[in-house]
């Protein structure tokens, strides 16, 4: 069996192998010692070298707990179709450990360096979400370091079931995931893609809802559904189907660009691994802003540098030094407001949201991904109706900031429309909610009760402080 870099995979019989388990326990003991060494009452943070969050912090240099060692796939059980994974394992590591067994996580977020712990506490979505929900819905067990210093194992039933269901969307403010046991599902070697164009939003979302309901289209089963909107009359529904054979496979890991192929090809084939990472090479389409969609540049950079984590380093450098802002001011350009969001609205209101977006937010393309909760389970900090199909819209760019307007003007307008349409917004990006509205949308009473039980001295950040105030 094959493990992640720096760690082996266990014995494959359900529980982590003894050697892997002991090394994990050693890492837990060292982490507890770090926590005990902090001054009483000192705030607790994670010291992370990487992040997939699009919101800044007021004190990014604050010291934190070193969890970098928690990056091991402890065990893959191909019979039970489960994996035991440490919280800092990236989905790239996890996929590399499971695919040799013909298995994959039920939901694989689009970027390689998103961690499993991060996707569970901060939510995630992908094209299997219309049938598998979000990453936290396939978690069977969580080992957590809580704010009061305890190591607890939370499951859907038992003493810590409230923490288990309240952990998603808590963003590390209730505790940190040290180990997770998750479900896996079988894969086939290839994915056949069909890019189906629509010219009216109403027809587009009606077709999307029907595919999600029946899991079929034009006589074929459908395993993956997402879409790309290039304009009000150019909307593509991309339907993926597992297959054992492929007449050819395309390669979007270097010179060719996946999102551009959507407009050119009605059908395509990818290996399952290349399908899972089809968006990573160009960070969806955001690599264009960094100038790396030109073929000579791609030839020079090679596959190793055409990755989302490399782009993240460029963006982090710009955030620290404000290079683009300075260039814009020197050229006399208009200040711009970053608009980086993922939101969900019920499919019945999706055309309404898209109409608003095209009228008032000059960003294109837009990513579309349907989502339905797997079962009638309550996730109190991000409540969705299990009987409703939702549509996620992802848009990541910037817009001109009108003279005299405060930064956040467009973001705040989007937040209000999403709430009016009965939707939700992911908190990985900058948020502008007033505090009373935030706690009404994200279940303040349930959060405060969990905070009281697992972080009574409030050594971890408060959710509003972290996600809105940027502390």
252 Cα distance to chain centroid? 21
Give pairs for 442-449: CB < 8 Å, separation 24+: 442/169, 442/381, 442/382, 443/380, 443/381, 443/383, 446/166, 446/380, 446/381, 447/166, 447/170, 447/380, 447/381, 449/162
CA atoms of 86 and 182, how far apart (whole Å): 11
- Asked whether residue 359 carries a pLDDT value surpassing 50, the answer given is yes
**Chain position carrying tokens 């189906």:** 196
On whether residue 90 sits in a domain, the answer given is yes
Domain count for the chain, please give it: 1
By mean pLDDT, which of 26-30, 157-161, 261-265, 312-316 is the weakest? Answer: 312-316
CATH of the domain at 117: 3.30.465.10
Q: What is the pTM of this model?
A: 0.92
Q: At what angle do helices 308-321 and 323-330 cross, to 10 degrees?
A: 60
* 141-180 per-residue burial string, b: 16 or more CB within 10 A, e: under 16: bbbbbbbbeebbebeeeeebeebbbbbbbbbbbbbbbbbb
- Asked whether residue 5 carries a pLDDT value surpassing 60, the answer given is no
On whether residue 83 sits in a domain, the answer given is yes
Tell me whether strands 82-86 and 175-186 are parallel, antiparallel or unpaired.
antiparallel
In whole numbers, what is the pLDDT of the chain averaged over residues? 91
Q: What pLDDT score does 318 carry?
A: 79
- Asked whether residue 61 carries a pLDDT value surpassing 60, the answer given is no
- Asked whether residue 419 carries a pLDDT value surpassing 60, the answer given is yes
Q: What's the mean pLDDT in 428-446?
A: 96
Band of residue 14 on the pLDDT scale cut at 50, 70, 90: very low
Structure confidence by residue, pLDDT tens digits, 113-138: 999 999 999 999 999 999 999 999 99
On whether residue 92 sits in a domain, the answer given is yes
On whether residue 175 sits in a domain, the answer given is yes
Domain of residue 147: give its range: 18-186
Count other Cβ atoms within 10 Å, centred on residue 247: 8
By mean pLDDT, which of 12-21, 137-146, 180-189, 441-450 is the weakest? Answer: 12-21
On whether residue 191 sits in a domain, the answer given is no
On whether residue 467 sits in a domain, the answer given is no
Question: Is the distance from CB of 9 to CB of 3 less than 8 angstroms?
Answer: yes
On whether residue 403 sits in a domain, the answer given is no
Q: What pLDDT score does 471 carry?
A: 79
The vertex-90 CA angle with 425 and 423, nearest 5°, equals: 10
Comparing 217 with 15, the larger pLDDT belongs to 217
On whether residue 210 sits in a domain, the answer given is no
Question: Is the distance from CB of 390 to CB of 370 less than 8 angstroms?
Answer: yes
Which of the 8 DSSP states describes residue 349? G
Burial class, 375, CB count within 10 angstroms (exposed 0-12 / middle 13-18 / buried 19+): exposed
- Give the DSSP letter string of 370-409: EE--SSS---TTS---TT--EEEEEEEEEEE--TTPPTTH
CA atoms of 4 and 99, how far apart (whole Å): 12
- Asked whether residue 10 carries a pLDDT value surpassing 80, the answer given is no
Question: Is the distance from CB of 431 to CB of 121 less than 8 angstroms?
Answer: no
Q: What pLDDT score does 19 carry?
A: 72
Peptide bond into 365 cis (omega under 30): yes
Q: What's the mean pLDDT in 391-413?
A: 93
């Amino acid at each position: 069996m094959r493990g992640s870099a720096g760690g082996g995979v266990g014995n494959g019989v359900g529980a982590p192998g003894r050697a892997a388990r002991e090394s994990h326990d050693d890492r837990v003991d060292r982490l507890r010692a770090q926590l005990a060494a902090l001054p009483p009452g000192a705030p607790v943070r994670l010291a992370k070298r990487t992040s997939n969050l699009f919101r800044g912090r007021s004190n990014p240099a604050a010291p934190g707990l070193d969890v970098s060692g928690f990056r091991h796939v402890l065990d893959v059980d191909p019979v039970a179709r489960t994996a035991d994974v440490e919280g800092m394992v990236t989905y790239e590591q996890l996929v590399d450990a499971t695919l040799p067994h013909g298995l994959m996580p039920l939901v694989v977020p689009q970027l390689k360096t998103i961690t499993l712990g991060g996707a569970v506490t901060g939510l995630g979505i992908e094209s299997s979400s219309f049938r598998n929900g979000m990453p936290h819905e396939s978690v069977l067990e969580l080992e957590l370091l809580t704010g009061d210093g305890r190591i607890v194992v939370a499951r859907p039933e038992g003493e810590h079931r409230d923490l288990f269901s309240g952990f998603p969307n808590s963003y590390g403010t209730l505790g940190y995931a040290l180990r997770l046991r998750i479900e896996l599902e079988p894969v086939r070697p290839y994915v056949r893609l069909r890019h189906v164009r629509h010219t009216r939003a109403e027809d587009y979302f009606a077709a999307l809802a029907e595919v999600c309901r029946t899991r079929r289209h034009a006589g074929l089963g459908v395993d993956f559904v997402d879409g790309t909107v290039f304009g009000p009359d150019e909307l593509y529904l991309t339907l993926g189907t597992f297959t054992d054979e492929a007449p050819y496979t395309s390669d979007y890991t270097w010179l060719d660009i996946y999102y551009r192929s959507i407009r050119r090809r009605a059908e395509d084939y990818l290996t399952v691994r290349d399908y899972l990472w089809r968006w990573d090479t160009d960070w969806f389409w955001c690599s264009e802003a960094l100038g790396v969609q030109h073929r000579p540049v791609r030839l020079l950079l090679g596959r190793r540098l055409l990755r989302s984590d490399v782009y993240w380093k460029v963006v982090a450098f710009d955030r620290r030094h404000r290079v683009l802002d300075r260039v814009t001011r020197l050229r006399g350009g208009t200040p711009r407001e970053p608009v980086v969001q993922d939101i969900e609205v019920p499919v019945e209101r999706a055309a309404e949201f898209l109409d608003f977006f095209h009228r008032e937010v000059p960003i294109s393309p837009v990513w579309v991904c349907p989502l339905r909760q797997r079962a009638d389970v309550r996730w109190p900090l991000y409540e969705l109706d299990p009987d409703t199909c939702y549509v996620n819209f992802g848009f990541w760019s910037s817009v001109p900031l009108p003279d005299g307007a405060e930064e956040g003007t467009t973001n705040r307008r989007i937040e209000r429309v999403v709430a009016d349409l009965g939707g939700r917004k992911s908190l990985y990006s900058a948020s502008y909610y007033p505090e009373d509205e935030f706690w009404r949308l994200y279940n303040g009473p349930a959060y405060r009760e969990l905070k009281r039980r697992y972080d009574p001295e409030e050594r971890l950040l408060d959710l509003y402080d972290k996600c809105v105030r940027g502390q």
